Structure 1
Amino acid sequence: MGITKADTVKLISAEGFEFVIHKEAAMISNTLKNMLSSSGGFQETELGEVRFPEISTPILEKLCQFFYYKLRYTNSAAVKNVPEFKIEPEIAIELLMASNFLDC
């Protein structure tokens, strides 16, 4: 059984770069969870894509990596063996602001 379009979400950066990730990973972000699971007929819910005009491609890429990291290691039996999630110092502030917006 393969992955269907309903199992994924497309996140689009300010530059128009598209990241297609598993919906389960995107739901790490409370903001994305609310956008993608609302019953109000929002475009994000219907199309399964979210545009971020304020988030650059490198920052959105790092956020996607974090979603998978958190999905893998949250509630893991091997909590003591969780590797460090590396963040380059030059993107730390911008990443912090974006993660705050996404509530993740």
Structure 2
Amino acid sequence: MEGEDVKPTVTLVSSDNMEYSISKEVAMVSPTLRVMLEGPFKEKSGRVELPGIEGNVLAKVVDYLQYNLQYKFANKDQEDIPEFEIPTEMALELLLAADYLNV
């Protein structure tokens, strides 16, 4: 469709081959993904394989990246920012993924 703004997308692939397509803007929230997508790496093609992160954990990471982008510049005094829910059973895996992706 002519005239529409088509945002570039990135595909994140988990260790169990689950794929999540997100906007490049959302992916750039992670400094690690930013380096992979902008540097001289094969991931520059827009497909990032994350063999250390399982699909269910990667889905939650994608949710967090979107949440982070949405509320990044929100003023805590003026806007009610909802809490990001983290399932207890997934906490350790999310901590490791967050550390790896630097978010």
Matched, 1:52 2:55: no
| Aligned length, in residue pairs | 99
Query: In the alignment, which residue of structure 2 is the partner of 1:62?
Result: 60
User: Which runs of structure 1 show a deviation greater than 3 angstroms over 4 or more consecutive aligned residues?
Assistant: 77-80
| Percent of residue pairs bearing the same amino acid type | 37
1:47-79 Cα offsets, whole Å, 9 max, x none, are 201001110001000000000000000112465
CA distance in 2, matches of 1:3, 1:19: 18
Query: In the alignment, which residue of structure 2 is the partner of 1:75?
Result: 73
Query: In the alignment, which residue of structure 1 is the partner of 2:31?
Result: 30
TM, length-normalised to structure 2: 0.90
Query: In the alignment, which residue of structure 2 is the partner of 1:100?
Result: 99
TM, length-normalised to structure 1: 0.89
Matched, 1:18 2:38: no
Q: What letter is aligned with 1:96?
A: L
Query: In the alignment, which residue of structure 2 is the partner of 1:3?
Result: 6
Structure 2: tracts of 5 or more residues without a match = none
Q: What letter is aligned with 1:9?
A: V
Structure 1: tracts of 5 or more residues without a match = none
Answer 1 or 2: which has greater helix percent.
1
